[in-house]
Amino acid sequence: MAGTAPTGAGADRAAARTVAGARPPGRRDQRRPGTVRPRRSSRRMTPHELFAERLLAVLSGRRPVHWMLGQTVGEAYEQLVRLAPGTPLRARGVLPVIRTCHGFQPRPGVVEACASIAAGEQVRAMAFRLERSADLRWRCAAVELGGERTDGRPGA
């Protein structure tokens, strides 16, 4: 008879397949697909990694340049004001990300850093200098961009 539920031993096997069908044989944990949460790194970001993220947000157009006003000193803010309107790190349809970020401390209270920024096929270089002020906060003191653009405009 088509359309009727199995009875007896057939019903037991069908029920077992329904319950265990969502989990491979031998798997003991109760997680289901889609419940795995991304791992968060327990390590804190270094000052140069944090500033690389901040500079990327401004130079890709996701944040306004005045967002960096209290986090820059000297010429760095003026450099950002000149660079930001052209959104040099923006790529059409692709969110730019930091591939690598390295810092070097030439002396206490100073970090010189470089980062490579990828957006699709485009890879750009960003260098910046951080200085620790009297209030022990890190502030950006210089920013430079390099690399050829794929849209024909020369790099900075």
**pLDDT greater at residue 83 or residue 1:** 83
Q: What is the DSSP letter of 66?
A: G
Predicted pLDDT at 40: 61
Predicted pLDDT at 98: 94
What are 52-96's pLDDT values in tens digits? 999 999 999 899 999 999 999 988 999 999 988 888 888 778 889
* Span 137-150, average pLDDT: 79
CB atoms inside a 10 Å sphere around CB 104: 10
In the predicted model, what is the mean pLDDT of the chain? 80
C-beta of residue 52 within 8 angstroms of C-beta of residue 105: no
Predicted pLDDT at 84: 87
Which alpha helices (DSSP H) does 5-136 contain, by range? 9-20, 47-59, 75-83
Predicted pLDDT at 155: 47
pTM across the whole model: 0.66
CB atoms inside a 10 Å sphere around CB 108: 7
CB atoms inside a 10 Å sphere around CB 138: 18
Confidence of residue 10 (pLDDT cuts 50, 70, 90): low
Predicted pLDDT at 1: 53
Predicted pLDDT at 151: 42
